[in-house]
Amino acid sequence: MSLSSGGWTNHTAGLTPDQSAALPHHYGASQSQLGCLTVLMSVRVSVCHSGIRPLCLPGAGDESLRLQLSMDPGKSGEFRLSLQDSSGTGRSVTIAEYDLRTVKYEVKSPKCHELSLAAPPHDRISFNFRCEQEAQEWATVVMSSLREAHRVTPQDNGTQSPLDGLHLQNTSALQQTEETCIELTRAIEAGDMQSASVFAATLARQHAALKIQPSARDCEDTEIHLAVVVEDSSSSCCVTVKVFPHMTTAVLKQQMFLEYGFHPRVQRWVIGQCLCTDQRSLASYGVRQDGDTAFLYLLSARHARLTLQALQQDQESALLLGPPSLSLPTPPLLPTSANGPASQDRKPYTTLPPRLNTSSNTGGSDRGNISEIRDLINLEMPQLNEALTPNTTSSQGWPCPSCTYINKPTRPGCEICSTNRPENYVIPGGYRPDALELRRIQQEKEAIRQYQQAKEEERRENFARLVMLDGQDLVPNPEPVDCKICYVELQSGEGVLLRECLHCFCRECLRSVIMLSEEPEVPCPYRDDTYACSCSLQEREIRALVPAEEYERWLQRGLSVAESRCEGSYHCATPDCPGWCVYEDTVNVFHCPVCKKHNCLICKYIHEGMNCKQYQDDLAARAINDSAARRTTHLLKTLVQSGEAMHCPQCGIIVQKRDGCDWLRCTVCHTEICWVTRGPRWGPGGPGDTSGGCRCNVNNQKCHPKCQNCH
């Protein structure tokens, strides 16, 4: 049989009339006409066993035989399997040719396959391949073609059938139905209710089977990141999947099958508390922006009635077809038999490139698209070959120290038991990962990137939350708690969480603690039998808890306590003036910022316009008639008698040591004085003259046993 423009015709090539007459009908030789068939694959084989007469002839066991698989691009499911002899004349002579639907194909061993006829007398042909890789590639293509051939119902390719008129009538009716659907779509888009009802009634009278769904152009085509929580009966995890809002649930199932290996029949999606159906889009469930969440629940294979054979077949089909289309619904992946027709209750998945949309009278365009089909096959088949061909470099890899499984060199952990890769293992320099390993590495990098991005986002959110809380004077309690003082139950936000110790109290109790506290620092009131909190309330917390006048009194109380407890403090001599300071030895005058008076820190009085001697002389003169002056004079004498003050040895005014070492300087005559000896510090020659004065540190001896560094 060979294919001509009119169909399959019988003729024998390369055989005598006697030999041709001796062959059965389905064993006749054929030669395909150029431009009609597309050769999918061709391999050299040697026949090792055959019950067919021409293949029992001498020389049939040589490698001059060639198996060839071809298809008719204009007829879906039309495949031809031929056995050709290329020895002798230099031309390929077809020994036998079969319709792929009439044979059964079985793999006996890695290099030996068997072909048998489905119809009696069930003759068999066994042949050997040159290498295992070539045999497996051939088996993959033949098995996929067998499923495609059985999927499509065989049609009569001979002369015109009497039913052609009925077919033309059905075609015309289908054309009218499609035109009515187009008009209905336009009427709905235009808002023409009357026209839309007319077209809808027409379709209803025809009992037309329709599928109505919103147009994808109304949805945003921006890719978003969908957070998917995956759960099964024993575990759960979270992954991020890139999707489009107008994708249907069926397309999403197919995508998860390609990326993670979850078969569509075991997937159950829940989005927005709704169990998703395959026909609806993700946008209809509220998936429109990055970070939206979906839940994927995985059934067991037994519950989904999924067999291992069906899973393997669907994986091969998915690799052949590539990623699913986003604009068209994807049919479910269902298993089919390689040697028989598909079951009646479910439709199998397509395994070869789609049929060209050409009619029988456009032969030129058919021939023009043959190269496109061949390009599609050449693009798809290497991916399948890489996935299904056994790795010849399987010795490369590291054995798991726990389960002894041989892992790929680039895997960081065991694929079976997750044990870490040995630290001393070095990846071979010439190793190149296969397609599956490259995809795993890319997914691992993407997962690390997503983890780092999520961690950075969490860090920013925490920082923003801390900044927001830092801007608040009081931190409310985030959850219900009991006040540790009055034991009243506080709902969220009713209590105050102290910043330093995180103890929580009600506002009334904290306000009472502040008003009753006599210390400038209000301690945390938390106490129990074993622990007393040592932290204090912050100033802004106190300001937010008490009224403004009470807050001012708390500030004044703190200042008063600080003044009384601070060494070197001096209060302004002006009556009722609250000003005070902490002075140093080198400072003799305090300029009060409250009353603007100048306080002498030596005399401890205010004598503006006079020095200390003039003030003391004036004070002595006024002491006769002024009782206040007499009291001041008496106070100065008391200080001199008690040793807290002394007369300057040069000018005679009263000077007082405030603090520090025993070195003083008179504010009037600027004489340097030794406080412990009550005399001048130097001799008549001034500073550095040790012939007089206290002679401290001369011959390494102190001027007085109680001297505190007068020099």
561-598 burial string, b = 16+ CB within 10 Å, else e? eeeeeeeeebbbbeeeeebbbebeeeeeebebeebeee
Bridge pairing between strands 293-298 and 224-231: parallel
Q: Where are the alpha helices (DSSP H) in 88-131?
A: none
677, two tokens: 């000896």
| R_g over Cα of the chain | 51
429 DSSP assignment: T
Q: Where are the alpha helices (DSSP H) in 25-78?
A: none
Strand partners, 532: 527
From the list 593, 566, 570, 590, the residue with the least C-alpha distance to 580 is 570
52 DSSP assignment: S
* CA neighbours closer than 13 Å in the CB half-sphere of residue 681: 19
d(Cα 204, Cα 185) in Å, to the nearest integer? 15
Which amino acid is residue 402, in one-letter code? S
Mark whether 648 is an active-site residue.
Answer: no
Q: Which residue has the tokens 């102190």?
A: 702
405, two tokens: 């499984």
Residue pair 2/11 in contact (Cβ under 8 Å)? The answer is yes
127, two tokens: 């042949």
From the list 613, 710, 618, 620, the residue with the least C-alpha distance to 667 is 613
d(Cα 281, Cα 245) in Å, to the nearest integer? 7
At residue 237, the 3 state secondary structure works out as strand
How many C-beta atoms lie closer than 10 Å to residue 534's C-beta? 10
SS (H, E, C) 356-417: CCCCCCCHHHHHHHHHHHHHHHHHHHHHHHHHHCCCCCCCCCEECCCCCCEECCCCCECCCC
Strand partners, 105: 115
Phi and psi torsions of 602, nearest 5°: -85, -50
* Structural element, H or E, at residue 454: helix 435-470
Residue pair 238/230 in contact (Cβ under 8 Å)? The answer is yes
184, two tokens: 């209905």
Q: CA torsion angle for 44, 49, 55, 58 (degrees, to 10)?
A: 90
* Active-site choice (661, 666, 674, 707): 661
Active site residue ranges: 661
